[in-house]
Amino acid sequence: MRQIRIGLVGGGWMGHAHASAFQNALLAFGPEPAVPVFEAVCTLSSDPSQDVKDTFGFRRSTARWQDLVIDPDIDLVDIATPNSSHAGIALAAIANGKHVYCETPLARSVADSRSMAEAAEQANVVNLASYNYLRNPIQSLAKKLATPDRLGEIMSFRATFDQDVVLDPSFPFTWRMDRSVAGTGALGDMGSHAISLALMLVGPIHQVSGMVKTFVTERPTADGAATRRVENEDIAQFICEFKNGALGHFSASRLGTGRKLGLTYEIQGRNGAICFNQERMNELDFFRQDEPQEIRGYKTIYTGPEQPGYAAFHPIPGVALGFNDQKTLEVRELVKAIAESGPVLTDFRFGYEVDRVIEAVMQSVRSRGWVPLSEIE
């Protein structure tokens, strides 16, 4: 039986989630075409990696990712660390011929993202940027509907990603608010997911005009002993034009009062429209203009076995999937791609395209005008 030996970098919450996903992909889909092996785990700092090691039965652990990326017994390097370390680890892993799986956004800078994508392509290794919201089976339905045949010409795309988890100004400073570690704030951390959905469902973006703002400018440190300045934006938004002519709007807020995981979008085409809200991730709202007018209306479609991936979890429709199941489906795609040398939906090139949009928005903020994507390399 074919094995994929995993070297996990980052033993914190995200590392745990990745390892669980590998385990669950095996349970849901079985051992074909390959089984994951928990070979080694690396902790960068004070991550509770011992727990991850024991819980999943990793054979070894190390404190240096540099050791892990050259380990001949590792096939896949799984990067579940803060943004600033992604590029270094990924480039080293690729240089050693490893397949790579990386959390998003890929990097703090678009230059780093491009290097990662180019290196992975030249090395011909499987490379996957974790945009797991796209793996929700109901997004497959969205993709099938957001076509000229169904929605017709797309005229408008609006998306939000609001969360109020750090709304309280006494919520402590985290690495996500530190520009040197995270890069942008809400735009990269949350907006990137909205952008990833747009790129999949509508296509490339032509030009953007954006704005950002920080409302909570100081936060206490985790130990409560001091305060630190928040270095990146709490809220970002931009309007845009897609290459296909559609108008777009995106907003992302980590102070999104009243919203828990408010990743939403609405697509309006000439023949139909679609709405989605991650807080109700098992539903897609769909409107068909071609129905008789007297019974025309938005309908709510629940997730079900017709959507790729769902049937591995439940035999009947409407049985809720959870967030973790998205991650399981992403890992399943990764395992198949490695075993069968196939493509993935969100490779590093895709991650780079997302990061180009983020960079264009930030340039637009600085120049106070429209920035075409063609100016971003």
Distance CA 209, CA 364 (A): 6
Residues 167-186 contacting a copy of itself, CB under 8 A? 167
Q: Exactly one of 170, 226, 294, 366 binds a copy of itself (CB under 8 A); which one?
A: 294
Residues 40-59 contacting a copy of itself, CB under 8 A? 51, 54-56
* Contact of 5 with 41, CB cutoff 8 Å: no
Check binding of 72 to a copy of itself (CB under 8 A). Answer: no
Check binding of 302 to a copy of itself (CB under 8 A). Answer: yes
The interface region with a copy of itself, picked from 99-107, 182-190, 281-289, 340-348 by CB under 8 A, is: 281-289
Residues 206-225 contacting a copy of itself, CB under 8 A? 209-211, 213, 215
Tell the residue number behind the tokens 């509907």, with chain if given: 145
Check binding of 375 to a copy of itself (CB under 8 A). Answer: no
Q: Exactly one of 304, 330, 335, 362 binds a copy of itself (CB under 8 A); which one?
A: 304
The interface region with a copy of itself, picked from 69-77, 91-99, 114-122, 278-286 by CB under 8 A, is: 278-286
* Nearer to a copy of itself (CB atom), residue 117 or residue 365: 365
Q: Exactly one of 2, 320, 340, 377 binds a copy of itself (CB under 8 A); which one?
A: 320
Closest C-alpha among 287, 313, 288, 317 to residue 304: 317
Distance CA 270, CA 152 (A): 5
Distance CA 267, CA 342 (A): 30
Distance CA 371, CA 376 (A): 9
Q: Exactly one of 2, 3, 31, 59 binds a copy of itself (CB under 8 A); which one?
A: 31
Q: Is 224 left (phi over 0), alpha (psi -120 to 50) or beta?
A: left
CA quadruple 120, 121, 122, 127: dihedral, nearest 10:
30
Check binding of 37 to a copy of itself (CB under 8 A). Answer: no
Residues 231-260 contacting a copy of itself, CB under 8 A? 234-235, 237-239, 241, 245, 247, 249, 251, 253, 255-260
Site string for a copy of itself, 77-116 (x = CB under 8 A): ----------------------------------------
CA quadruple 324, 238, 79, 123: dihedral, nearest 10:
120
- 27: enclosing H helix or E strand: helix 13-29
Check binding of 204 to a copy of itself (CB under 8 A). Answer: no
In angstroms, give the least distance from the CB of 181 to a copy of itself.
Answer: 19
Classified as helix, coil or strand, 176 is: helix
The interface region with a copy of itself, picked from 115-123, 174-182, 263-271, 333-341 by CB under 8 A, is: 263-271
Check binding of 27 to a copy of itself (CB under 8 A). Answer: yes
Number of residues that bind a copy of itself (CB under 8 A): 94
Site string for a copy of itself, 352-371 (x = CB under 8 A): ----------------xxx-
* Contact of 361 with 232, CB cutoff 8 Å: no
Q: Exactly one of 223, 316, 341, 343 binds a copy of itself (CB under 8 A); which one?
A: 316
Phi, psi (degrees; rounded to nearest 5) at 27:
-65, -40
Q: In what order do the strands lie in the sheet with 272-277?
A: 283-288, 272-277, 262-269, 154-162, 247-253, 235-242, 205-213, 371-372
> For strand 35-42 and strand 3-9, is the pairing parallel, antiparallel, or unpaired?
parallel
Closest C-alpha among 302, 303, 269, 304 to residue 287: 269
Check binding of 279 to a copy of itself (CB under 8 A). Answer: yes
Residues 124-153 contacting a copy of itself, CB under 8 A? 141, 144-145, 153
